[in-house]
Chain A
Amino acid sequence: MIRSALLAMPIVLLSAPLRAEVITDADCTKPQHAQMIINHCASLDFKAADEKLSVVYEKTRTALQQYKNDKTRFEAAEQAWLRYRDTQCGYEAGMYDGGSLYSAVYTTCAKRLTDARIKELQTYLACHLRVGKCEE
């Protein structure tokens, strides 16, 4: 299964609040105080991490091409991870439900989990498939 298809929904949902108030000139490299800009920058951070994860995901799928059983289990693991990411971040942002902080807390959580997942897949690639240096 293609990962981008799985991810399509959360991305649409996360970016929906931005459509109402289009932000094009925010400098996310500087500390921001307006909640709308904080939300926007957190969303950009998550999207960058998510794109990186998609690349590592495809790289892993390709590396597993000759191991059909492992590849099937990998795809199942990624779906389970996505469910974990979404419910965990729903929980972490839960205390801000309905508030202006919700979006930033949710996407910050999603970015943190995505960074950890990238590391996990990179370790697998290096230590099980000799793609990169294994430091386990």
Chain B
Amino acid sequence: MIRSFVLAIPLVLVAASATAGEADDVDCNKAVTQTDMNFCANKDYQAADKKLNDVYRKVAAALGDKNYQAKLKAAEKAWIGYRDTECTFETAENEGGSIHPLVYSGCLTRQTIARTKELQAYLVCFKDADKCGGSQ
């Protein structure tokens, strides 16, 4: 997305979002207003986050060893720190604009999907170290 273009949008959309109601019954296939788009982007993120939590629990259970589980927990905590600061950075140009929740949720979703894949891939490695051990 081009910086100057993005900066111009929030000014136009502020008025639209101010009149839109709560978005509980929004059809996310047809979202048009900024409020609806923000709502739908957050919904996508919540779904991705739920999936990540499921995979995380599965990995933690597979590890068994407490010391190893502690390392996973530390890695997850550090990843959350990275996810949040990275998305704050990537969306800094929209800070204060009505489009910010949309782009921020989009960034969180992208990061969360990548993290889910990473944890899933490592679960495979853990179960069968020969598949990706030292020569990964």
**Nearest opposing residue in chain B for A105, CB measure:** B134
Alpha-carbon distance between A68 and B13 when the two chains are bound, in angstroms:
25
Please tell me if B93 contacts chain A, counting CB pairs below 8 Å: yes
Interface of A is mostly: helix
Q: Which of B71, B85, B134 contacts A91 (CB 8 A)?
A: B71
Alpha-carbon distance between A76 and B63 when the two chains are bound, in angstroms:
31
B89 touches A91 (CB 8 A): no
Q: How many residues of B contact A (CB 8 A)?
A: 33
Question: 1/0 per residue B66-90: CB within 8 Å of A?
Answer: 0110011011011101101110111
Alpha-carbon distance between A87 and B129 when the two chains are bound, in angstroms:
20
* Distance in Å: Cβ of A115 to nearest Cβ of chain B: 13
Alpha-carbon distance between A129 and B4 when the two chains are bound, in angstroms:
10
Known: A90-B71, A128-B1, A130-B2. A84 touches B82 (CB 8 A): yes
A91 touches B136 (CB 8 A): no
Chain B residues lying within 8 Å of A81, measured Cβ to Cβ, are 82, 86
Known: A38-B134, A105-B133. A76 touches B93 (CB 8 A): no
Question: 1/0 per residue A37-62: CB within 8 Å of B?
Answer: 01000100000000000000000000
- Chain B residues near A (Cβ < 8 Å): 1-3, 67-68, 71-72, 74-75, 77-79, 81-82, 84-86, 88-90, 92-93, 95, 114, 118, 122, 125-126, 129, 133-136
